[in-house]
Every structure is written in structure tokens, then in C-alpha cells.
Amino acid sequence: MSKDEIIILDCILSPFCMRVKIALNEKGVSYESKEEDLFGWKGGKSELLLKSNPIHKKVPVLLHNGNPLNESSNIVTYIDETWPSSSPLLPSSPYERARARFWIDYIDKKVFETGGKIWRSNGDEQEAAKKEFIEILKQLEEALGDNDFFGGERFGIVDVIAIPFSCWFYAFEKVGGFKVEEHCPKLSNWEKRCLLKESVGSVIPSPDMVYGFVSSMRNKLGLE
């Protein structure tokens, strides 16, 4: 569809990178992915990454005809504003847009950090993190209500922002000994609904792959 040059500085397991790929898929915009070596296994982060995101030095970076964009929620909004005609992601009314941004901010601040506390700990600390994580998901489930998607009947920006975390849930569950589905059945159904979409399913890695990564990190940290 697009003749623009679109490059993502990417990491296959990063939910933040997945957001950008899902948004571009929704828009029908093709892109080239360049996998970054975040853990220094093959020489470390590329010069292009350090130059394109000098403040945070993090993936994802979107390079649109060479112009760098940083921070995944910001990039997804940019994608929606740059290709507005197909599959709008943000709602059209200012009030609904503000509501969507509120939940994006909530998800950005809470979900991955709290999930990380589950797998980076054991014992009481892990129990507390698990409890906090379930509360956060319940809050999200309440926001979802009886809708098919956070965007209502349509898959929208909050769905793009939230769904990539789902492939990490299995690792959180295995390490923490709980099931998201038992606490948040509606959210689990939403997850299945999203994964059926080609734009999402083609981007999200298998939960087993994430669990493999989490296990190896826990081993390294002496937690297993």
C-alpha cells in the first residue's frame, strides 16, 4: 500500500515492538523489521538504535523515511495519524479519545512492570506482585465490560496497546502458579478474540517461546 520506507528496530519478544507491528498491519502498511541485540549476545545495540533513540536507547524505533520515532504508544498514535483512512485506531470523539489515552497510560504504567515483578522474584515478594497483577487485570476487565474490544465493537488503539502482553501471561502464570482465566474470564475471551485477527496473530510469538526466555533469565538470576 505504502511506498514509504518503514523500518522497525525490533525485538521479537518485546510487547512494545509488537504494538507497532500490529498497528502497521491494521493499516496495511508493510515494513522491514531489524532485530536488535538487546542483551549483548552478538555485539549489542546497533549504532542506528543509539542514534535514533539517543535519550532512552530502547526499542521499538520506527524509522519512517529515515525519520525516527520513539516510544511505542506514541508511535502507534503516529501511525494512526499518518494513515488515518484505513482502520482508524483512535475513536473520533475527543472524549472517547481521552478515555482511550487514559487506559493506554494505565496499561503502560502497570501491566508489564508488575508482571516483571512476578517472574523476577520468589516467595512473599512474588505473592504480592501476583495479587497486584490480578487486581490490575480486573480493573482492565471492568473497563472492557461486555464489549468485544476495548475499542467497543471494533479493535482499537487500547487493544493494540494491551494485546501484546498476553503472550507473556503464560510465563507469569507458570512462574506464579495462577491462571488469568480463573480471575478474569472476560479478559481471556478478549485475548482469544484478538489473537484470531491476522494483524495480531502473525506478530505475537508463542507463549512457550516467552516462557523459555523467562526461565533462562530466572536461571541467570539464581531464582530457579
Binding site for its own copies (CB under 8 A): 55, 64, 67, 69-71, 74-75, 77-78, 81-82, 94-95, 97-98, 101-102, 105-106, 139
Q: 64 vs 130, which CB is nearer to its own copies?
A: 64
CB of 192 to its own copies, least distance (A): 26
CB of 202 to its own copies, least distance (A): 25
Rounded to an integer, what distance in angstroms lies between the CA atom of residue 2 and that of residue 28?
A: 8
Rounded to an integer, what distance in angstroms lies between the CA atom of residue 62 and that of residue 10?
A: 9
CB of 117 to its own copies, least distance (A): 19
Q: 63 vs 175, which CB is nearer to its own copies?
A: 63
CB of 69 to its own copies, least distance (A): 5
Q: 39 vs 102, which CB is nearer to its own copies?
A: 102
Q: 40 vs 94, which CB is nearer to its own copies?
A: 94
Are 137 and 183 a contacting pair, CB within 8 Å? yes
CB of 120 to its own copies, least distance (A): 21
Q: 85 vs 123, which CB is nearer to its own copies?
A: 85
